[in-house]
A and B are shown apart, each in its own frame.
Chain A
Amino acid sequence: DQQVKQNSPSLSVQEGRISILNCDYTNSMFDYFLWYKKYPAEGPTFLISISSIKDKNEDGRFTVFLNKSAKHLSLHIVPSQPGDSAVYFCAASQGSGGGADGLTFGKGTHLIIQP
């Protein structure tokens, strides 16, 4: 039973345009969501996160939106750059305070930025 789903295995976007990566979750106990970026032969790199008490969080070119009622979050990258080409993982946590538990990851979306 996959609790975090990324339904698009890959996404191709032109350089300079907006990239929108989507993620759905089924566990209503999740209260913190994160996006990670992964290049080949490297570990995932933390990108941006959002708490369930917010519906938007911005950091430079990256914005994450959370729709709790739809159990859906999205990552917007504007403008997209060639270095953004990577696999993006959505992750969720049921933090209990005093230290997070393990993250539940989606299977990833491979973003390809076309020149």
Chain B
Amino acid sequence: DSGVTQTPKHLITATGQRVTLRCSPRSGDLSVYWYQQSLDQGLQFLIQYYNGEERAKGNILERFSAQQFPDLHSELNLSSLELGDSALYFCASSSGADLYEQYFGPGTRLTVT
């Protein structure tokens, strides 16, 4: 158990809809990262938040957004969903001391029909 929790575990929704994925980092970790794992692309970095502020952006679509709240939990919002957005979405966290080692949650499987 990494200490990172993600909800929900599974989500099935229709094209055009909007969903919110939630992540709670390990206790004490200030950084939260979001990744997308699809069959053909592998694990792709989407976005990072550090202590409430956006810190780094990867391959995140404009239809996707994220935020980190004062209690350090984070939410990833996906809107105008397309079939190609079906994937596993992972959240990871790291502490200020462990600059590079990131600890991953179990993921949310999103299916867009």
Contact = CB atoms under 8 A, between A and B. Distances in A.
Interface of A: 32, 34, 36, 41-46, 49, 89, 91, 93, 95, 97-108
B33 A102 contact: yes
A107 to B, nearest CB: 4
Q: Report the contact-size class of chain B (Cβ under 8 Å from the partner).
A: 20 to 34
Contacts of B44: 105
A97 B42 contact: no
Nearest to A46: B101
Given A34-B100, A103-B45, A43 B50 contact: no
A93 B104 CA distance: 16
Given A99-B94, A105-B43, A106-B42, A43 B106 contact: yes
A65 B100 CA distance: 18
Given A101-B55, A104-B45, A46 B31 contact: no
B103 interface: yes
Contact of A108 (B4, B42, B105): B42
Nearest to B109: A41
Contacts of B50: 99
B48 interface: yes
B61 interface: no
A90 B50 CA distance: 24
Contact of A49 (B43, B90, B101, B107): B101
B104 A44 contact: yes
Contacts of B8: none
Contacts of B104: 36, 43-46
Interface string B30-51: 1101010000001111111010
B99 interface: yes
Nearest to B43: A105
A102 B100 contact: no
A36 to B, nearest CB: 8
Nearest to B99: A100
Given A43-B2, A97-B99, A105-B35, 20 more contacts: A36-B104, A43-B4, A43-B105, A44-B90, A45-B104, A46-B101, A46-B103, A91-B43, A93-B100, A98-B99, A99-B30, A100-B94, A101-B56, A102-B35, A102-B46, A103-B33, A103-B43, A103-B45, A105-B42, A105-B44
